[in-house]
């Protein structure tokens, strides 16, 4: 496994792309309302990216036809925008990628649509809190498997399950690179193996939360991923750089 170590000047360029993603997420979080279609949300996101001189990085990536992923209610990740109308009480995951001058940004949030249930508030809080917990404990020399182990423990301690078969990832000159960073581990026996976190690494962490069962099911559109339990899920993501031994968030306004 080869994980690229970035220079300070390269991290600054990556941060430019990540910052536009953060601005787009903030814009959508303030302006998406009940009554809109998922396609309208997609267009809002795409137009905002383009207005900030960023290319929507997901459009055409692996054949994905739209600019952003809109994951509604039971869809946890990779939701395909369509004519579905968002309603009061829904929860909507929005995952956005950008590319500026050959460098990539990537981040995601799950937003409430109007007033939502206490159960959905807790579900969203788990993915967000797991992300910030992970960011806080990252330190140079920690193994990625140790990080995955800690994320899984956090999620399970809240009464939820991490979605399996999908993961966080390296990012930089490509939207996805080494390492893969799951939110779980396959065996506790191997957490002291594998690559260590080093200064200059840039990667995305993205806790993906299932209510009861962690096994994924891909829907008929061949993109949208739900849990086997058929219940609502949530997703949060930040793009990070390791600087001076700690994780710094790049995808923030």
Instruction: Write out pLDDT tens, residues 120-158.
Output: 999 999 999 999 999 999 999 999 999 999 999 999 999
Q: Is the pLDDT of residue 189 over 80?
A: no
Q: Give the Å distances, CA to CA, from 51 to 44, 45, 46, 99.
A: 11, 10, 9, 13
Which region holds residue 200: left if phi is over 0, alpha if psi is between -120 and 50, else beta?
left
Task: Tell me: pLDDT of 186 over 90.
Answer: no
Q: pTM for the full model?
A: 0.97
pLDDT at residue number 141: 97
pLDDT band at 1 (very low <50, low <70, confident <90, very high): low
Sign of CA dihedral 217, 40, 249, 157: negative
The CATH architecture annotation of domain 8-249 reads Alpha-Beta Complex (3.90)
| Per-residue pLDDT at 99 | 98
**What is the rounded average pLDDT of the residues 86-92?**
98
Alpha helices in 89-229 (DSSP H): 118-137, 144-157
Q: What does the pLDDT look like over 61-79, one tens digit per residue?
A: 999 999 999 999 999 999 9
For residue 40, is pLDDT > 70?
yes
């Amino acid at each position: 496994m080869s994980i690229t170590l970035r220079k300070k000047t390269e991290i600054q360029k990556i941060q430019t792309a990540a910052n536009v993603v953060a601005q787009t997420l903030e814009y959508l979080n303030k302006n998406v309302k009940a009554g809109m279609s998922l396609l309208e949300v997609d267009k809002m996101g795409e137009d905002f990216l383009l207005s900030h001189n960023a290319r929507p990085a997901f459009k055409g990536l692996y054949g994905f036809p739209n600019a952003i992923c809109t994951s509604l209610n039971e869809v946890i990740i990779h939701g395909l925008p369509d004519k579905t109308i968002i309603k009061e009480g829904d929860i909507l995951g929005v995952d956005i990628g950008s590319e500026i001058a050959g460098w990539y940004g990537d981040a995601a949030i799950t937003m409430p649509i109007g007033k939502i249930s206490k159960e959905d508030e807790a579900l969203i809080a788990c993915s967000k809190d797991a992300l910030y917990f992970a960011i806080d404990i990252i330190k140079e020399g920690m193994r990625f498997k140790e990080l995955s182990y800690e994320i899984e423990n956090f999620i399970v301690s809240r009464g939820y399950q991490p979605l399996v078969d999908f993961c966080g990832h390296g990012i930089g000159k490509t939207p996805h690179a080494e390492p893969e960073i799951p939110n779980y581990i396959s065996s506790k026996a191997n957490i002291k193996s594998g690559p260590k976190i080093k200064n200059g690494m840039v990667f995305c962490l993205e806790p993906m939360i299932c209510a009861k069962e962690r096994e994924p099911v891909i829907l008929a559109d061949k993109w949208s991923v739900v849990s086997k339990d058929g219940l609502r899920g949530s997703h949060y993501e930040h793009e990070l750089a390791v600087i001076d031994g700690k994780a710094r968030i790049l995808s923030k306004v």
